[in-house]
Structure 1
Amino acid sequence: MALGRIDDLYRDAILDHRRNPRNHEPLSAPDIVGEAINPFCGDEIHLQMNIDANRRVIAVGLQGEGCSIVIAAGSMLAEAVQDKDFDEIHTLVALYRKMMQGNKDAEDALLHEGDLANLAGVRDYPIRIKCALLPLSALTQAMQSCRPSVSQH
């Protein structure tokens, strides 16, 4: 496949997640929450998760306002963490950060994590990398706020 067509596929995935964000409904009684705001541009992400006793994500809610990259990255990340436990999410977070730093092995590993690898092209626009990482900040904050024992669902 020609490089231009691959770029179009990536662009299509980002636009699809922007236009139709996944898990965009807020959770009525979340176990943990996180939010991240970029004070320079006003982008913001609000994330809620319900987790079981084994710290496995059983529901995700994500709302935000901002550019296409922020909304698409949040949507892709919300899909990727669904049904994962915190150890798996920590691995996912590390791979995502490495991909944004240009690590091709991390990008390849993320090919099996939904649409996240489609965001690799963002690193060609350094000013937009913060946009792609903002939802990750909300996720990290939510996980850090998790009490050792949470309610079982």
Structure 2
Amino acid sequence: MSFNNLDTLYRQVIMDHYKNPRNKGILEEDGSLTINMNNPTCGDRIQLTMKVEDGKVSDAKFEGEGCSISMSSASMMTQAIKGRTVEDAIKLSKIFSDMMLGKEYDEEDLDLGDIEALQGVAKFPARIKCATLAWKAMEKGLNEDSQ
């Protein structure tokens, strides 16, 4: 597949998650974690709610507003972490962070799925914070929960 076709495909995946977000909403269950974060630079904001049971992220939802990058990244992230162990969710976040910084990452370690569509964001340093907002919220919530 040519680079232009791949770029177009990635844009389509990002826009699909933006227009049809997965896991949009708030978990109202007792014991769910709630993390609020924002990016004051561009105004993106997110409220992430997660349910952790037996060391696994059993559910995750988000609410918020922002650009297509931040909202599609939140959609992809919630899809990717549901059913994973806390350890794997944090590991996936580190891989995502490395991808955003243009660093080498081990694709074999964990399947990134739609998340790979965001790798082009690394070319636009001002947009990296948009893409990582939901991921930072997830890490913060899981790290605080484990203490």
Question: Do the two structures share a fold, i.e. TM-score over 0.5?
Answer: yes
Structural mapping, 1:4-153, within 5 Å? 4-29=4-29, 31-52=32-53, 54-106=54-106, 108-109=107-108, 112-146=111-145
Which runs of 5 or more residues in structure 2 are unaligned? none
What SS does structure 2 have at the residue aligned with 1:103? Answer: coil
What SS does structure 2 have at the residue aligned with 1:59? Answer: strand
Cα displacement string for residues 19-77 of structure 1 (whole angstroms, at most 9, x for unaligned residues): 0111002111252121210112211011001111x220111111110000000000000
What SS does structure 2 have at the residue aligned with 1:75? Answer: helix
Contact 2:44–2:70 (CA under 8 A) maintained in structure 1:
yes
Contact 1:45–1:135 (CA under 8 A) maintained in structure 2:
yes
Moved over 2 A (4+): 103-106, 108-111
Identical-pair percentage: 34
What SS does structure 1 have at the residue aligned with 2:84? Answer: coil
Matched residue type, 1:20: N
How well do the aligned residues superpose, as a CA RMSD in angstroms?
A: 1.6
Q: CA deviation at 1:119?
A: 0.5
Q: Structure 1 residues 47, 86: closer, same or farther in 2, change over 3 A?
A: same
Q: CA deviation at 1:144?
A: 2.4
Q: Structure 1 residues 39, 89: closer, same or farther in 2, change over 3 A?
A: same
Greater Cα shift, 21-30 or 92-101: 21-30
Q: CA deviation at 1:147?
A: 5.3
Greater Cα shift, 72-81 or 110-119: 110-119
Aligned length: 146
Distance 1:20 1:115 in 2: 14
Which runs of 5 or more residues in structure 1 are unaligned? 149-153
Distance 1:38 1:69 in 2: 12
Matched residue type, 1:135: A
Distance 1:55 1:34 in 2: 18
